[in-house]
Amino acid sequence: MQLIQNWTPTVGSGSVSGSNATNSSSYSKRQTGGVLAAKLGASVQLHMLYEWAQQNGVIVVGGSSDTVGIGGGYFQGGGHSLQGAVRGNCADNTLEFTIVLANGTIVVANENQYSDLFWAARGGGGGTWGVVLDVTVNAFTDPPVIRYNFNVTYEVDTDEFWEGAAAGLELVGRNVIENGGSGYWYVYPKFIYSANTTVATFQMFTFFINQTDTAQVAAWMDPMAKAVKDATPNAMVPVGEPWLYLESTMTQAYLDIFTGADDDDKFVAIGSRLLNRDFTNSEGVGKKLAATGRALNLTEGSYFNGLLTYGKQTWANADLVDDSVVPYSRQTSTHLLVTRAWDNTFTFAEQQEYLDLITKHDVPSFDALYNDGPAYSYQSESDPNTPNPQERFYGPNYAKLQQIKAIYDPTDFFIVRKGVNSEHWDDDGHCRISGSAPTGYGHNYGHGPSPPSGYRHGGW
């Protein structure tokens, strides 16, 4: 890990036939030279990153985990973050990366060279474009953050419990996101409290980054806590005094929550949908979300939740940054998820039942919340069996991503499930589907640009 005080982009490392290798046209309207930056090796995981950042008095846009690698699928999948409201996503803040291409060539991609590859790998999916060796991202002075949390708990998920959840969810958009906040909400109908006990709990965790006025945050958030409390008079553990705390730095907040190792004893699968700003701010949204969550009929340990990881700067970056993150994220305020959990006693057939529920019931119920065209998901946290990944993960960017894939990896040397060109392969990515051809060249698979210098055709 290296902190660079006055970073400027690398220039002049050669070209690939058919690419924008030396195209000087910018993919960004932001300042991308002479900035504070962090150069991170591909093996750097978030916990060690935040420890290093804290020691250097800086923060970079990262996720909420200990063991996620920022230089892998995180930034390549877009990289949503608690810092989305103030910085945008990680892809927006990626300045350049060093990558090994399918032909073995090592190149540095940024806005000045290999700019098409630079565009594609910032949101076009991990494991698809090459082997990333390092990534350079914007660094910022480590800001203070105010955290505001509350919860309510019942012995079982009664009607009143769901009314309380609805009361809180009604105000998430207007009171948290529109005021520059980020965070998470969780609804556990059967939270595992102990070996023999489950409870129903609604939990709200919010972060107001670069904010030091606790009275102002309380003015925004107290009405939400009061609405939940008023709706839940018979709670086993009622909404008490909300936890309101000014943390000196955002890195400290991360390190307080993520202490070094992620849970490794859970068996889960998820489904998701991006919810737009208009919907989350609409009247009656709380009841719609609560009704959808209740209809999931979740079992022990499973939950329904929203990630508030987009917000004001992510929206504003629509006019400042051009990357391949699905454009719908520029109007997204909440990433809605269902997480179905099981234990090691489940048979493969029982596990498949859960997976089928997510694909055939849960995600369609999310999509039915409102209709403004195609529904989208954040690809790094989504249904592993999504039936239409080209549209759901990439949207209108997909055709351009395929064109760039044809230049840098014409034989699909790098292929991942549900990634770019995965429709040409079986579901495991092992065998090409008969009659399906890559969009590039070679082996009579079609006509395209001449191969990069030194490219070697491979077999399957």
pLDDT in tens, 188-233: 999 988 888 999 999 999 999 999 999 999 999 999 999 999 999 9
Task: Give the Cα separation of 171 and 174 in Å (integer).
Answer: 5
Phi, psi of 285 (to 5 degrees): -65, -35
pLDDT in tens, 378-417: 999 999 999 999 999 999 999 999 999 999 999 999 999 9
Residue 446's pLDDT is what? 32
pTM: 0.90
pLDDT in tens, 48-91: 999 999 999 999 999 998 889 988 889 999 999 999 999 999 99
Residue 443 has pLDDT above 50, yes or no: no
Q: Give the burial class of 367: count Cβ atoms within 10 A of its Cβ; 0-12 exposed, 13-18 middle, 19 or more buried.
A: middle
What is the radius of gyration, based on Cα positions, of the chain?
Answer: 23
Residue 299 has pLDDT above 60, yes or no: yes
Average pLDDT over residues 32-41: 88
Q: Between 14 and 9, name the one with better pLDDT.
A: 9
% the chain with pLDDT above 90? 79
pLDDT in tens, 134-154: 999 999 999 999 999 999 999
Q: Count the alpha carbons within 13 Å of 98 in the hemisphere toward its beta carbon.
A: 9
Average pLDDT over residues 425-454: 58
pLDDT band at 439 (very low <50, low <70, confident <90, very high): low
Residue 105 has pLDDT above 60, yes or no: yes
Residue 266's pLDDT is what? 75
pLDDT in tens, 256-278: 988 877 776 678 999 999 999 99
Q: What distances in angstroms separate CA 428 from CA 390, 415, 418, 433, one per listed residue?
A: 16, 10, 10, 11
Task: Give the Cα separation of 349 and 334 in Å (integer).
Answer: 32
Q: Between 20 and 383, name the one with better pLDDT.
A: 383
Token code pair at residue 153: 């708990």
**What does the mean pLDDT of the chain come to?**
89
Residue 31 has pLDDT above 70, yes or no: no
Is-contact 228 221, C-beta < 8 A? no
As a residue count, the chain comes to 460
Q: Of 10-24, 204-218, 434-448, which range is least confident?
A: 434-448
Q: Of 13-22, 79-88, 202-211, 296-305, which range is least confident?
A: 13-22
Residue 92 has pLDDT above 60, yes or no: yes
Task: Give the Cα separation of 143 and 147 in Å (integer).
Answer: 13
Distance of CA 438 to the CA centre of its chain: 28
pLDDT band at 457 (very low <50, low <70, confident <90, very high): very low
pLDDT in tens, 330-362: 999 999 999 999 988 899 999 999 999 999 999
Task: Give the Cα separation of 90 and 75 in Å (integer).
Answer: 5
Token code pair at residue 315: 């929206």
Question: Which domains, and CATH codes, for the chain?
Answer: 2-141 (3.30.465.10), 145-386 (3.40.462.20)
pLDDT band at 434 (very low <50, low <70, confident <90, very high): confident
